[in-house]
A and B are shown apart, each in its own frame.
Chain A
Amino acid sequence: MTRSRYLGLLRKLGVIAITLFGLLTMTFIIGRLMPIDPVLAVVGPDADSSTYEQVFREMGLDRPVWVQYQYYLQAMLSGDFGRAILTGSPVVDDILRVLPATIELATVAILVGVGLGIPLGVYAATHRGRLGDHLTRLITLFGYSTPVFWVGMVGLIVFYAWLNWAGAAGRIGFAYDGMFESYTGFYLIDTLLSGNLEAFFSALRHIALPALILGLNSVSFLGRMTRSFMLEQLSQEYIKTARVKGLSERSVIWKHAFKNIRVQLLTIVALAYGGLLEGAVLIETVFAWPGFGQYLTDSLLMGDMNAVMASVLFIGLVFVFLNLLSDVLYTLFDPRTRS
């Protein structure tokens, strides 16, 4: 590794540190500006004034704001995010508990998005102006502009109520709850590892609809982006060179044009995945999916600031991490960023 690459790495780490610091500060400010009384959330509406006063002081709220800020930073940096009022357990434990459900949902959704959206975008770009292209654009426009909660409800009516293909609320049928070992927290994997095929199919039936609906959103987004990235590449001179060589259209598209959009695609796939991890809030609500989105919504509605702030921080961390990951992959796939 050269000197300049070390410097580049250092700079990247520096940027991450600054981003995280900014994030911590933002969450602190949001916490103070929220029209929610954090004391009231702890003691409840029936507490007398002396209890209220005591908790008020215990939470450090009688101190100047900058001292509070200092305490807050210290607590955060030592990994102490406090306890959630809703569950009474440390917020970190809560997040780790609900996370697998969301990761499982988001991962299946992004797999659908990548697996369908990218080929669809490539197809539309290579059939520009023809029927397939117009259809693709129509479908992706629909998928991109229709709110997920609406598609979710319609999906439930059609596929659960009428056709009974999909499972209803939750991650798995009641009968199978606790009927298999929890190795990873991902039901699709745990049920298979336990050898309980029936439970696996129940989990599959439950995840299919919400994941497909979230996936439809990713398909639309990734499809539209892929199409425009591909169109840009297909008009380049090197594509003509590839054709002059006598390459088949398939090789021209996948070996030449597509190789040039991998990097751009990686970035937006990473962002889309981050968006799914954070933004499945609506779909988790519609499908009663016990994941991170639902936890965040419940905490917000309860005014449970410890949980909310930790969740927001966590989302920020996810994005910082995904950005870092796509940066690393960038240098792996694009020789121009290496030298």
Chain B
Amino acid sequence: MSVLTVEKLNVTFRTDDGAKHAVRDVSFTLNNEKLAIVGESGSGKSTVGKAILRLNSPSTQVRAERLAFRDQDLLTCSEKAMRTIRGQHISMIMQDPKFSLNPVVSVGDQIAEALRVHRRISRQAAREAALDMLREVSISDPEHVFDQYPHEISGGMGQRVMIAMMVIPEPDIIIADEPTSALDVSVQQDVLDILTRLIEKKNISLIFISHDLNLVKKFCDRVLVMYSGQVVESIKASDLANASHPYTRGLMESLPSLRHRRATLPVMTRDPAWLAQGGAP
């Protein structure tokens, strides 16, 4: 059985200028794999991630034919049941550790808290577990870092703390929402390596939300391409070269290459028919 099932997910924002249909009929299933959701800004990829955890603002309307973690329905379950899902079964790595870590709580306490929410363990045991987790994300001096505050550590270190915090309850699914885009290029790969190593070791499924097709094709198993709130392509990462949808092909052709010299990069022409067509082929 799939870990996560999404069938015809629709998300509508109510704004002052009327309703905005941000996600249209998105369907996919997640197995034990690394699934990438790629798309440009505003394509609805982050909104899908938030909808799975039911973290959209109250004015947002989320509808779906089915949205389920294993056989538990996420749309109709109580807020209390949802809280046992969050963190324990599905967690999420946010984009920028500068904003996503609490500035007045020490790094170690934030990691330990993620564990203590779901397990009845002593403060000391949680501290030990957090220290172990810091070691696992390749922080060399965990005792020292444990008592530091977010403003005292670098962005790359912050994101490793974030990973530690989300992996420590050993969830089944991690949604990573652009986890490396706010980081310095030189540390992006390190952070990505740590993330992939940990999820493989702990057998965690990954939903990797990104705008970087080049990046995801290197380490993800499958790619969903979103355009204007719809999934226009669902394809194996290794098959991306043979993508069928003109938008995906356009994106692939726009990638600069070191090997082939080209006079200009092609400009993508957007066909209004893409919007009407909808759904993955």
Contact = CB atoms under 8 A, between A and B. Distances in A.
Contacts of A256: 102, 105
Contact of B149 (A236, A242, A244, A335): A335
B103 A336 contact: yes
A176 to B, nearest CB: 48
Interface in A137-189: none
B114 interface: yes
Of A240, A260, A339, chain B has the most CB atoms within 10 Å of the CB of A240
B102 A336 contact: no
Contacts of B88: 246
B20 to A, nearest CB: 19
A22 to B, nearest CB: 34
Contacts of B94: 237, 240-241, 244
Bin chain B's interface residue count.
Answer: 20 to 34
Contacts of A242: 102
Given A238-B99, A335-B149, A245 B117 contact: yes
Interface in A280-339: 333-336, 339
Contacts of A238: 99-103
Contacts of B92: 244
Contact of A246 (B83, B99, B104, B152): B83
B104 A260 contact: yes
A17 to B, nearest CB: 32
Contacts of B108: none
Contact of B85 (A237, A246, A336): A246
Contacts of B86: 243-246
Contact of B104 (A240, A247, A333): A333
Contact of A336 (B117, B118, B151): B151
A256 to B, nearest CB: 5
Contacts of B106: 335
Interface string A251-282: 10001100110000000000000000000000
A256 B102 CA distance: 7
A259 B102 CA distance: 9
Contacts of B152: 335, 339
Contacts of B165: 241, 245
A50 interface: no
Contacts of A251: 117
A335 B104 contact: yes
Of B100, B104, B162, B166, chain A has the most CB atoms within 10 Å of the CB of B104
Nearest to A338: B149
Contacts of A255: 105, 113
B53 A244 contact: yes
A248 interface: yes
Nearest to B85: A246
Contact of A259 (B55, B105, B114, B118): B105
A246 B162 CA distance: 15
A245 B87 contact: yes
A259 B87 contact: no
Nearest to B115: A245
B55 A241 contact: no
Given A259-B102, A334-B104, A246 B84 contact: yes
B99 A244 contact: no
B27 interface: no
Interface string B105-139: 11000000110011000000000000000000000
Interface of A: 236-238, 240-248, 251, 255-256, 259-260, 333-336, 339
Given A244-B91, A259-B104, 10 more contacts: A237-B99, A238-B99, A238-B102, A244-B53, A244-B87, A244-B94, A245-B86, A246-B84, A259-B105, A336-B104
